Amino acid sequence: MNTHFRILLVLLALGAVGAFGCGGPRYTQVSAGMSHSCALRTDGSAACWGRNDEGQATPPVGSFTKITVGHMHTCALRSDGTVACWGRNKYGEATSPGGTFADVGAGAFYTCGVTTDGVLSCWGRDRVGQTQTPEGTFKSVSAGTTVACAVRTDATIACWGRDRSGAGNPPEGEFASVSAGNGHICALGTNGAVTCWGRRIEGQITPPADIYSKVAAGGFTSCGLKPSGEVHCFGSNSQGQGIQPTGLFSDVTVGHAHACGVLTNGKLSCWGKDDSGQAMPPRGTRR
């Protein structure tokens, strides 16, 4: 084989690699739970990693627009608006109802969704009222350990469930999104400011004064995503989940003691507790 022919083969190979996406798949959204994590690829398919003893890290085939991870189950919103759930189903938390939804959020042992009509629907464990939804019309929902919150169509917030630390008493104001954690809640105001309330023993409800594009509440830690792509975390750092990760991100999520983000290049990055592999995305997908 002459030198010119070898060069031609190399160039053709490089072109094929570029066509199929050099460096593996890219991601758009990520969600972290107790001991597993899941993310959506750019083609809408799902990938999960970490603890999988209940099938919570084995997603079905399909195209999804959002994925959300609970303690031991996972749910995702299909492209047609229906909800698919998998994993532990002891309390019916993975038995998704019929109908079409605009949003879905997995909690500890329950799940909540907003139907395309704007009505809240929750299913699963109801020991402390976490599936007893308020009336009204809503546009998004987040389910935490025992408290869930949703943003109404008028941009105010409603919460329900156990309220031992004030997590069920949202502040007044207009909000773009809300994230429920383990006894604390954080919300992103329509002006980009973050407000948190509820359990405060680790500093998880004291965000730095800044403008953010997203906020995520987890076990005892919260993280905010700035418009610049920087992620700033606050609260507990017992497992390294509260560090400030390097790089620029387009999405961030906080689990019980680990956090993950999607970098602006579509790669995944996780940090914090990794006893079940929950902070170790599949090979070839992380930076």
Asked if CATH classification 3.30.530.20 holds for the domain at 27-272, the reply, yes or no, is no
pLDDT of 248 above 50 = yes
User: DSSP letters of the chain?
Assistant: --HHHHHHHHHHHHHHHHHT-TTS--EEEEEE-SSEEEEEETTS-EEEEE--TTSTT-PPSS-EEEEEE-SSEEEEEETTS-EEEEE--TTSTT---SS-EEEEEE-SSEEEEEETTS-EEEEE--TTSTT-PPSS-EEEEEE-SSEEEEEETTS-EEEEE--SSSTT-PPSS-EEEEEE-SSEEEEEETTS-EEEEE--TTSTT---SS--SEEEE-SSEEEEE-TTS-EEEEE--TTSTTS--SS-EEEEEE-SSEEEEEETTS-EEEEE--TTSTT-PPTTSB-
Q: Give me the residue spans of the domains in the chain.
A: 27-272
- pLDDT computed for residue 23 by the predictor: 63
Kindly tell me if the per-residue pLDDT of 3 is higher than 80: no
pTM for the complete prediction? 0.91
Q: What's the full length of the chain, in residues?
A: 287
Q: Render pLDDT for 160-181 as a digit per residue (tens, 0 to 9).
A: 999 889 999 999 999 999 999 9
Is the pLDDT at 7 greater than 70? The verdict is no
Res. 41: pLDDT tops 90: yes
Q: What is the pLDDT confidence band of residue 52, given thresholds at 50, 70 and 90?
A: very high
